[in-house]
Chains A and B, each alone.
Chain A
């Protein structure tokens, strides 16, 4: 059975707090923190982007897998902030990781689920026997307009998953994808900031697809919430994933390990994949894990995984998510944050 042979995540070291952003716009920090369950978020440096984050996460995945990068037959990067409008991120990442030239590379996009999408396809290629190893990465340096709710959550980070058939750290027991055309959040070509449908992004978009996808995979596998040790859902803010989990019958203890959004923010294509990495950092052999992503537009990918005996042996070969969240970091003022996120106009 195919599964994850290596995984890695990367979160930039700069932060800006909900309080700092709220103060900028004359809002009450406590109201925002309570409403969104967000305390702070990661901010990418001038020298960081989806490509650099993917390379860091990809290196960690290869380190944990102990696999020669030359054996990786496919590499997919899912993001909604690819650095080039035309020119793949995947080719830069492949060369940096020492993958190729015999490799299939493509960039994916589907709002926040481009990461699990890349994972979905990578897994499929391995399962079919077409390639021995394939990597799917979800990474983003997402942008929120000034004085918009998204500004509190849009952050930067990513996670990489290397799939193979042997020596897996977690087996993939099932996958399921649920998709419909729902314009809850979008960005037109040439626009700098995305737009969203306000409350329409909730029940008819996020919840409809996440719940449908999760229920279908539970049905498909004849499993219920209590059969799992961990569950992680896409985290556009702190509240939605906890609400979705509760509706599906998951308890707080099952949700809290993957729930990294309050300190990380929403890393879009990196969101649930990073939550999954946080889970793999501590899961015991035999633990069942559910991951359900959500991408506006809209769709949800679900995976059911089971940790293997090999996981505890390999996971310390690269940094863990908690260590990155709690480790060396630098807090920015709103002005520094806005400069770094290119919200200010400068002379050429």
Chain B
């Protein structure tokens, strides 16, 4: 991803910065110019909690090239306590164990490398908080 775009997205990716619509209270993540619920254009800045619940998920077996080594991996839609939903991988567990309802924390991780010479792209991934187990 080109650097200017990556730099613009840092508040969203690194700090989970979101917007709350002043008119209808909807939490919009990533932040937008127009509220998708009520078309309002005034917002208050806020940050999402670093945790949430899995709404739906899958395990990707056939990955895009940048994630070849990491497959199979679980990807989920996670809902934070503020009611925002975001998509993220869920890691540090058996991918098959990731199911709707699972509670996860959001940890800062390296999402992808742009090949050997490009930039490193960081963001958040989910890590289960509910099930402690030793595996492998």
Direct contact, A vs B (beta carbon within 8 Å)? yes
Hey, which bits of chain A sit against chain B, CB under 8 A?
13-15, 45-49, 51-52, 55-56, 59, 83-84, 92, 95-96, 98, 327-332, 339-340, 346, 348
Which residues does chain B contribute within 8 Å of A46, judged by CB atoms?
Answer: 69-70, 110
Q: Are A331 and B15 in contact (CB under 8 A)?
A: no
Which residues does chain B contribute within 8 Å of A327, judged by CB atoms?
Answer: 132
Smallest Cβ distance from B112 to chain A, in angstroms?
Answer: 9
For residue B122, CB closer than 8 A to chain A, the reply is: yes
A339 to B69, CA, bound (A): 8
A to B CB contacts below 8 Å, 28 in the list = A14-B92, A45-B91, A45-B109, A47-B91, A47-B109, A47-B110, A47-B125, A49-B110, A51-B110, A52-B107, A52-B109, A56-B107, A56-B108, A83-B120, A92-B14, A95-B10, A96-B15, A98-B15, A327-B132, A328-B128, A328-B132, A328-B133, A329-B135, A330-B134, A330-B136, A331-B135, A332-B136, A348-B116
Contact of B70 among A14, A47, A98, A330 (CB under 8 A): A47
Which residues does chain A contribute within 8 Å of B4, judged by CB atoms?
Answer: none
The answer to whether residues A47 and B111 also contact, given A95-B10, A96-B122, A98-B15 and a CB cut-off of 8 A, is yes
Contact of A55 among B108, B115, B133 (CB under 8 A): B108
For residue B62, CB closer than 8 A to chain A, the reply is: no
A296 to B9, CA, bound (A): 39
For residue B68, CB closer than 8 A to chain A, the reply is: yes
The answer to whether residues A329 and B134 also contact, given A47-B70, A47-B91, A52-B122 and a CB cut-off of 8 A, is yes
Contact of A346 among B68, B108, B122, B128 (CB under 8 A): B68
A328 to B10, CA, bound (A): 30
Which residues does chain A contribute within 8 Å of B68, judged by CB atoms?
Answer: 346
A92 to B134, CA, bound (A): 32
For residue B93, CB closer than 8 A to chain A, the reply is: yes
**Interface magnitude class on chain B:** 20 to 34
A98 to B122, CA, bound (A): 15
For residue B1, CB closer than 8 A to chain A, the reply is: no
Which residues does chain B contribute within 8 Å of A48, judged by CB atoms?
Answer: 109-110
Q: Are B134 and A328 in contact (CB under 8 A)?
A: yes
Of residues 17 to 60 in B, which have CB atoms within 8 Å of A's CB atoms? none
Which residues does chain A contribute within 8 Å of B93, judged by CB atoms?
Answer: 328
Contact of B69 among A84, A96, A346 (CB under 8 A): A346
Smallest Cβ distance from B65 to chain A, in angstroms?
Answer: 8
Q: Are A328 and B131 in contact (CB under 8 A)?
A: yes
Of residues 66 to 102 in B, which have CB atoms within 8 Å of A's CB atoms? 68-70, 89, 91-93
Which residues does chain B contribute within 8 Å of A348, judged by CB atoms?
Answer: 115-116
Smallest Cβ distance from A316 to chain B, in angstroms?
Answer: 16
The answer to whether residues A51 and B122 also contact, given A13-B92, A96-B14, A328-B93 and a CB cut-off of 8 A, is yes
Smallest Cβ distance from A128 to chain B, in angstroms?
Answer: 30
Which residues does chain B contribute within 8 Å of A83, judged by CB atoms?
Answer: 110, 120
A96 to B50, CA, bound (A): 12
Known: A45-B92, A95-B15, A346-B68. 4 other contacts (CB 8 A): A49-B110, A328-B131, A328-B134, A330-B134
Q: Are A52 and B108 in contact (CB under 8 A)?
A: yes
Which residues does chain A contribute within 8 Å of B128, judged by CB atoms?
Answer: 328
In the complex, which residue of chain B has the Cβ closest to the Cβ of A12? B92
Smallest Cβ distance from B72 to chain A, in angstroms?
Answer: 13
Which residues does chain A contribute within 8 Å of B110, judged by CB atoms?
Answer: 46-49, 51-52, 83
A-B pairs with the 9 shortest C-beta distances?
A: A331-B136, A47-B109, A55-B108, A330-B136, A96-B14, A13-B92, A328-B132, A47-B110, A330-B135
In the complex, which residue of chain B has the Cβ closest to the Cβ of A89? B120
A34 to B107, CA, bound (A): 36
Which residues does chain B contribute within 8 Å of A331, judged by CB atoms?
Answer: 134-136
Which residues does chain B contribute within 8 Å of A49, judged by CB atoms?
Answer: 110, 120
A346 to B67, CA, bound (A): 13
Which residues does chain B contribute within 8 Å of A96, judged by CB atoms?
Answer: 14-15, 108, 122
Which residues does chain B contribute within 8 Å of A92, judged by CB atoms?
Answer: 14, 122
A98 to B109, CA, bound (A): 16
A52 to B93, CA, bound (A): 18
Smallest Cβ distance from A64 to chain B, in angstroms?
Answer: 16
A340 to B91, CA, bound (A): 14
Smallest Cβ distance from B116 to chain A, in angstroms?
Answer: 7
Which residues does chain B contribute within 8 Å of A95, judged by CB atoms?
Answer: 10, 14-15
A45 to B91, CA, bound (A): 9
Which residues does chain A contribute within 8 Å of B125, judged by CB atoms?
Answer: 47
A318 to B132, CA, bound (A): 17
